[in-house]
């Protein structure tokens, strides 16, 4: 009897000295919903990679603390293959079958609109990391990326400041370019640009023959003071810029401002032909901050031996050659950290409670501190950059603390839009 009592006391004493952190952590499933094949793979594959890197970062640091327990992030990856209806099917799989706690994904607005009803019906949580046209607000989506007033409007303001008087609006044929250009036409007219000096053209995804369009641009720009505002998405940028350069058009006689070309897309583009053209984002890899230096270094180190610590998961298909960072990658990573902070504040993965806890969350990222607003958009810094031959951007203008506003009716006449 005494032996049994002594043994019980000994075991109880031993367990008392085992801290929660030293016990095996549980796991939480998190979805990655990005095209890894098709026309959008050129952009979306890197978002999958940076999400796996971020999960590994968090797991290495002890995971997510909720309800007195540590959780390791377990990725669940699906490939919607640049097929917009397939996005909805894959979203349903992640939420209903895989039971993920949150999803990070989508690039195009048509893919986001495809999955939106699924997230609302199943009360899922999507973090959307790519610049978009606004005019939308869902309680089930957090839009960490640039709204029109954080990218398109500042870029057009810059061109107007450079005395550009003619605007050629060129985009892929879907909701983001069409809605953005509708807003920009209204804005340009309010700035005194007549309809006759605004051209609007769209091409399908994957379009390759830009000879006729570039000839039109050359004629449009012949009198001077013209620029192109490009919302082309995906690999169609490659033939466009090659034809643009072949036609003798340059940043001197007709600068292009692109909203969907970041450092990552430059890896597949003729960077020498894009020198002097412009981009506008809330992050550039060239930013000189301690947080950015660490982010870039850590990501490039991870690429040499990509893993997700703490879970039974094998990372495959990651190409470490010539890799860079860009704004959608930074916004994807920050979305994960904002979600982690909200989970820890709420003490649970319950979507309704995490949603409430997300409002007001701050995170000091590589491009500065961001704050999540009640409208599910971030207060963020905005940077306009000039393209260098290296495929990087030289920052030429900075706007600090720009609040993301999804509805154009609220910002078209505001100070933010006119400064």
b/e burial code for range 110-125 (CB count within 10 A of at least 16 → b): bbbbbbbebbeeeebb
Whole-number pLDDT of residue 24 = 55
Whole-number pLDDT of residue 137 = 98
Whole-number pLDDT of residue 148 = 98
Whole-number pLDDT of residue 108 = 92
Please identify every stretch of the chain with a pLDDT value under 50, giving residue numbers as ranges. Answer: 1-23, 415-419
Q: How far apart are CA 91 and CA 141, in angstroms?
A: 13
Whole-number pLDDT of residue 265 = 86
Neighbours of 347 (CB within 10 A): 15
3 state DSSP class of 265: helix
Q: What is the CA radius of gyration of the chain?
A: 23
* Cα–Cα nearest to 181, from 193, 172, 199, 169: 169
* Cα–Cα nearest to 138, from 148, 128, 146: 128
Whole-number pLDDT of residue 11 = 39
Whole-number pLDDT of residue 395 = 98
Whole-number pLDDT of residue 4 = 43
Whole-number pLDDT of residue 244 = 96
Residue with tokens 């290495």: 60
User: In this structure, are strands 378-387 and 393-403 parallel, antiparallel, or unpaired?
Assistant: antiparallel
Q: How far apart are CA 131 and CA 175, in angstroms?
A: 12
* Cα–Cα nearest to 135, from 152, 122, 121: 152
Neighbours of 10 (CB within 10 A): 10
Q: How far apart are CA 367 and CA 284, in angstroms?
A: 8
Q: Which helix (H) or strand (E) holds 211?
A: helix 211-221
3 state DSSP class of 262: coil
- Go through the domains of the chain in sequence order and give each one's CATH number: 25-148+289-379 (3.40.50.2300), 150-285+381-418 (3.40.50.2300)
3 state DSSP class of 155: helix
- Taking the model in full, what pTM does it have? 0.91
Whole-number pLDDT of residue 268 = 83
Q: Up-side HSE of residue 31: CA atoms within 13 Å toward CB?
A: 29
Whole-number pLDDT of residue 17 = 37
Beta strands in 306-392 (DSSP E): 362-365, 368-372, 378-387
Whole-number pLDDT of residue 414 = 57
Sequence-distant (≥ 6) Cβ neighbours of residue 288 within 8 angstroms = none
């Amino acid at each position: 009897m005494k032996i049994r009592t002594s043994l019980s006391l000994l075991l109880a004493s031993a367990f008392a000295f085992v801290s929660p952190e030293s016990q095996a952590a549980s796991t939480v499933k998190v979805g990655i919903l990005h095209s890894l094949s098709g026309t959008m793979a050129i952009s979306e594959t890197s978002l999958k990679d940076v999400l796996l890197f971020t999960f590994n970062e968090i797991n290495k640091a002890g995971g997510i603390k909720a309800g007195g327990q540590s959780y390791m992030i377990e990725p669940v990856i699906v490939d919607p293959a640049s097929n917009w209806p397939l996005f909805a099917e894959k979203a349903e799989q992640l939420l209903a079958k895989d039971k993920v706690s949150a999803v990070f994904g989508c690039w195009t607005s048509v893919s986001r609109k495809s999955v939106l009803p699924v997230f609302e019906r199943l009360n899922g949580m999507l973090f959307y990391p790519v610049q978009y046209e606004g005019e939308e607000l869902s309680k089930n989506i957090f839009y960490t990326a640039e709204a029109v007033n954080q990218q398109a409007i500042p870029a057009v303001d810059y061109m107007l400041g450079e005395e550009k008087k003619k605007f050629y609006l060129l985009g892929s044929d879907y909701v983001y370019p069409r809605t953005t250009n509708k807003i920009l036409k209204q804005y340009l007219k309010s700035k005194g640009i007549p309809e006759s000096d605004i051209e609007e053209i769209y091409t399908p995804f994957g379009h390759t023959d830009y000879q006729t369009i570039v000839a039109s641009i050359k004629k449009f720009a012949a009198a001077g003071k013209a620029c192109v505002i490009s919302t082309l998405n995906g690999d169609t940028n490659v033939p466009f810029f090659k034809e643009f350069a072949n036609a003798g058009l340059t940043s001197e006689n007709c600068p292009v401002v692109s909203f969907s070309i970041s450092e990552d897309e430059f890896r597949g583009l003729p960077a020498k032909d894009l020198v002097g053209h412009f981009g506008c984002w809330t992050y550039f890899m060239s930013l000189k901050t301690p947080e950015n230096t660490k982010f870039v270094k850590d990501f490039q180190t991870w690429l040499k031996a990509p893993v997700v610590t703490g879970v039974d998961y094998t990372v495959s298909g990651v190409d470490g050659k010539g890799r860079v960072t860009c704004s959608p990658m930074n916004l994807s990573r920050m979305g994960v950290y904002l979600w982690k902070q909200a989970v820890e504040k709420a003490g649970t993965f319950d979507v309704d409670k995490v949603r409430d806890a997300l409002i007001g969350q701050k995170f000091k990222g590589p491009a500065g501190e961001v704050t999540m607003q009640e409208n599910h958009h971030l207060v963020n810094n905005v940077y306009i950059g000039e393209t260098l031959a290296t495929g990087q951007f030289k920052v030429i203008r900075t706007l600090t603390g720009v609040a993301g506003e999804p509805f154009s009716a609220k910002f078209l006449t505001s100070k933010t839009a006119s400064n």
